[in-house]
A = this chain, B = another copy of it.
Amino acid sequence: MITNDFYSQENVGPYEVYNLGDFELEDGGIIPDLKLAYTTHGELNSAKDNVIIIPTWFSGTSKDYETYIGVDRTLNPDEYFIIVINQIGNGVSSSPHNSPEPISMGSFPKVRIGDDVRAQHKFITEKYGIEEIALVVGGSMGAQQTYEWAVRYPDMVKRAAPIAGTAKNTVHDFLFTKTLNDAITSDPGWNDGNYSSHLEVADGLKRHADIWAVLGMSTEFYNQEKWTLFDMDTVEEFIEEFLRPLYQSLDPNSLLTMGWKWQRGDVSRNTGGSLEEALGRIKAKVFVMPIGEDMFFTVRDCEAEQKLIPNSELKVINSICGHFGLAGVDGADYHRQIDNYLNELLAINVVEPVLD
């Protein structure tokens, strides 16, 4: 275990922690005393039918969704009980750097999207007795978890809105994520995950950030000098004062745990490898919401999956920021699109089974 202030209550909280006890993983091994960090917004109503679940994205925490939630927004805590759950390994929930032996640091086990969703299910059923989810919504790896929720618990999930993510990761995306991981593991300071401070891996994290610069935004983002959206005056500032410090503040093993998981996101693991069967199992009303300029979770890939989901629609979000559009720095325009689509989705009555 080592300390990394990035993940502190002061920086990414306030969050609460639920202890699930020993948790068996799909790929073998156990996380003893698995801890899920989470935040809630609003109150669970007596019918327990106002629940919204939001899982986190790669490198993100529950704090990143604060800009999606508000009393003047679709994700309105006056109306819904919103639970934002930090994925396993994200540095806040049980993760390599904050876990004791025998799963500390480089010994942390492999975790899959399915593990996250089973853990989240256990958490919300045990703690709140929730049996119905009005909406699961999340971006990127949050979308992967959203799909997993809809496929794994089809009777429980009434609506789903995967934003900028896929149900089954593509080969291209796997290769992209590999370069992100390799940037870290090629740093001698990484030392098979057994560094004494994330600062020893600063060079690897810098290269990791620089690869994000290429795929995370869009080509047009740079043409139109949109780094101003991140309050940066030049592209050099955007790289050196925003992107690199962002990733260099994070825990390398945490990024690798999430990267491994992201690469292997695949709901067809629930159906013996048939994506058609897995997505065909979904009973939720689904809005598939790719971002138009996304370079790795492309509209084309998301649309191909949407066509396999019975009760679904494709809703493309426009953002020149590409995948990083998720950060919401486009401002009101991005959030207006998200709010409008989620509002439309939540208004759809799916209390009755949508399939015969």
A contact set with B: CB distance below 8 Å: 170-172, 175-176, 178-179, 182-183, 186-188, 203, 207, 210-211, 213-215, 217, 219-223, 235, 239, 295-296, 298, 300-301, 304
From B213, B235, B300, contact of A219 by CB (8 A): B300
Q: List B contacts of A220 (CB < 8 A).
A: 300
Copies of the polypeptide in the assembly: 2
Are the C-beta atoms of B211 and A171 separated by less than 8 Å? Answer: no
Within the complex, the shortest CB–CB distance from A184 to chain B, in Å, comes to 11
Within the complex, the shortest CB–CB distance from A317 to chain B, in Å, comes to 18
Are the C-beta atoms of B223 and A170 separated by less than 8 Å? Answer: yes
Closest chain B residue, CB of each to CB of A213: B175
Are the C-beta atoms of B214 and A176 separated by less than 8 Å? Answer: yes
Q: List B contacts of A235 (CB < 8 A).
A: 171, 175
Closest chain B residue, CB of each to CB of A225: B171
Within the complex, the shortest CB–CB distance from A195 to chain B, in Å, comes to 17
Are the C-beta atoms of B172 and A219 separated by less than 8 Å? Answer: yes
Within the complex, the shortest CB–CB distance from A219 to chain B, in Å, comes to 4
Given A186-B186, A203-B186, A295-B295: A171 and B222 interface contact (C-beta under 8 Å): yes
Are the C-beta atoms of B214 and A175 separated by less than 8 Å? Answer: yes
Are the C-beta atoms of B214 and A171 separated by less than 8 Å? Answer: no
Are the C-beta atoms of A175 and B210 separated by less than 8 Å? Answer: yes
Q: List B contacts of A223 (CB < 8 A).
A: 170-172, 301, 304
Closest chain B residue, CB of each to CB of A220: B300
Closest chain B residue, CB of each to CB of A295: B295
**Can you list 14 A-B contacts with CB-CB less than 8 angstroms, sorted by A residue number?**
A171-B235, A172-B214, A172-B219, A172-B223, A175-B222, A175-B239, A179-B214, A182-B207, A183-B207, A186-B186, A186-B207, A211-B211, A223-B301, A223-B304
Within the complex, the shortest CB–CB distance from A210 to chain B, in Å, comes to 6
Are the C-beta atoms of B210 and A182 separated by less than 8 Å? Answer: yes
